[in-house]
């Protein structure tokens, strides 16, 4: 499945600029630094975190498994319906009117992972880390 992804800091900048920029009044903007397949996101995280001992699955999920899960969990029906849907998002208005320069996804995906480790959401496997 493919998602539009964006750094929360870029989203915050867009909200702030939407208030400040007169041309943004009464308009809606799509925000995304890019569109990415789950497998590509996983590969980015795998590249950063696997050398540190984090087992990040980096392949695509199996359609058969997701389809089966959707029989018991209705939340998964959206994934089945949009499984192979490929799309791009035109963010030209957010770049031109709101002056957003999107951060690269590798930066914020990796920062998100490290932040989750620092917050204790994910076990810290770094050498010398204090076990909580």
Domain presence at residue 52: yes
Range of the domain at 7: 2-118
pLDDT (0 to 100) of residue 54: 93
Total number of domains constituting the chain: 1
Q: What pLDDT sits at residue 127?
A: 76
Q: Give the pLDDT confidence score for residue 132 in this predicted structure.
A: 60
CA distances from 101 to 8, 20, 90, 96, 110 (A): 13, 16, 14, 10, 18
Note whether residue 112 is domain-resident: yes
pLDDT, position 20:
97
pLDDT in the model for residue 131 = 67
Q: Please indicate, yes or no, if residue 132 is contained in any of the structural domains.
A: no
**Does residue 73 fall inside a structural domain?**
yes
Please, what are the averages of pLDDT over each run of 10 residues along the chain (132 residues)? 95 98 97 94 94 84 82 85 90 98 97 96 84 64
Indicate whether 127 belongs to any domain: no
Task: Report the pLDDT value the prediction gives residue 64, as an integer from 0 to 100.
Answer: 83
pLDDT at residue 121, rounded to an integer? 95
- Is 37 domain-assigned? yes
130 lies in a domain? no
- Is residue 126 in some structural domain? no
| Cβ pair 123, 106 in contact under 8 A | no
Q: Indicate which CATH number applies to the domain containing 34.
A: 3.40.50.720
User: Which position has the token pair 């992804």?
Assistant: 5
């Amino acid at each position: 499945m493919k998602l539009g992804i964006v750094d929360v800091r870029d989203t915050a900048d867009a909200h702030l600029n939407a208030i400040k920029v007169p041309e943004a009044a009464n308009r809606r903007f799509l925000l995304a630094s890019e569109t990415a397949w789950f497998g590509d996101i996983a590969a980015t995280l795998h590249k950063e975190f696997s050398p540190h001992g984090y087992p990040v699955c980096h392949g695509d999920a199996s359609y058969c498994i997701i389809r089966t899960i959707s029989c018991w969990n209705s939340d998964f029906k959206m994934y089945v319906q949009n499984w192979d849907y490929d799309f791009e998002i035109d963010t030209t208005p957010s770049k031109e009117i709101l002056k957003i320069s999107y951060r690269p996804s590798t930066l914020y995906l990796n920062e998100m992972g490290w932040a989750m480790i620092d917050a204790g959401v994910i076990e810290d496997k770094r050498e010398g880390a204090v076990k909580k």
